[in-house]
Amino acid sequence: MLSLDRDKSRTRPPAVAGLFYPGNANELRHDVDGYIEACSPRATVAGPPKALIVPHAGYQYSGPVAGCAYRQLRDWSASVHHVVMIGPSHRVPLRGLAVPSADLFATPLGEVPVDAAGRRRLLELGLVGISDAAHAAEHSLEVQLPFLQVALVDFDILPITVGFASPELVARVIDAMWGGPDTLVLVSSDLSHYHTWDEARQLDSETTRAIVERRSDLPDEHACGACGINALMQVARRRGLTVDLLDLRNSGDTAGDRSRVVGYGSYALHEA
């Protein structure tokens, strides 16, 4: 495990700028603004969401669906100051959960500070380890940052990658970092992968039903971030959160052909 040297700030540079989303700041802000503004806010919601489930593909594919999640934050931009981010580790085999040693995460829109106190708490509880390798090229959390930078005003993040871990362990992390109304839990996940459009619609509808019913039995084949979703559903049942579907589409609806698609869903969870 790495030690944290507070005398020198470390910045995790963007790994997928220019690939998953525009590398030019003006173009990036324009695109993210467009995805958010294309969605309507929920007029009946009395406060910011406590948690969001958001897809993490290239913006041309999942950006419109992600925008509907972040639209729920825009009207509460001054209320949310801490974002606990949970996403799967796609590129690095990982046992358990990992936080980075970096103090800042950078995108073309600027730098976002890492919640050092939250990281220290999870390390002291023995719930996570430190792995910069697990974060260096990981896109599942990075692609959320420009949306957060546009939707929120003043916030920090606690980025957590999930490897081979139980939903119960991830749920313990979520509970430990639950905080108050100023803390948002963000679970990053796409849905079904590489089915036909018709097959994906059926599978993703079943997954959505499970999420809205707060079930925690999603298989990995139905969502690449199934562990994080299942953990969040465990917490949602215990804490009495409601779950709303915001948008459900796949790459065949947004920017791809319909013979081999990836599913995307965005969901908001609110405390009673």
Q: Structural domain tally of the chain?
A: 1
Yes or no: say if 97 and 1 are a contact pair by the CB < 8 Å rule. Answer: no
- For the record, the structure tokens of 134 come out as 């697990």
What are the tens digits of pLDDT across the range 228-263?
999 999 999 999 999 999 999 999 999 989 999 999
Q: 239 lies in which domain range? A: 29-270
Question: What residues pair up with 162 in beta bridges, in sequence order?
Answer: 88, 97
Going by pLDDT thresholds of 50, 70 and 90, the confidence category of residue 8 is low
Q: Give Cα separations from 222 to 72, 156, 161, 180, 226 (angstroms).
A: 25, 30, 19, 31, 7
Whether 9 maps to a domain, the answer reads no
Please state, for a pLDDT cut of 70, what percent of the chain lies above it.
95
CA dihedral for 27, 182, 2, 56, sign (positive or negative): negative
What are the tens digits of pLDDT across the range 69-93?
999 999 899 999 999 999 999 999 9
CATH of the domain at 161: 3.40.830.10
Whether 188 maps to a domain, the answer reads yes
What are the tens digits of pLDDT across the range 176-228?
999 999 999 999 999 999 999 999 999 999 999 999 999 999 999 999 999 99
CA dihedral for 44, 242, 182, 52, sign (positive or negative): negative
Whether 20 maps to a domain, the answer reads no
Whether 21 maps to a domain, the answer reads no
What are the tens digits of pLDDT across the range 90-114?
999 999 999 999 999 999 999 999 9
Whether 11 maps to a domain, the answer reads no
Whether 108 maps to a domain, the answer reads yes
- Quote the CA–CA distance of 79 and 93 in Å, as a whole number: 36
Whether 14 maps to a domain, the answer reads no
- pTM exceeding the 0.85 threshold for the entire prediction: yes
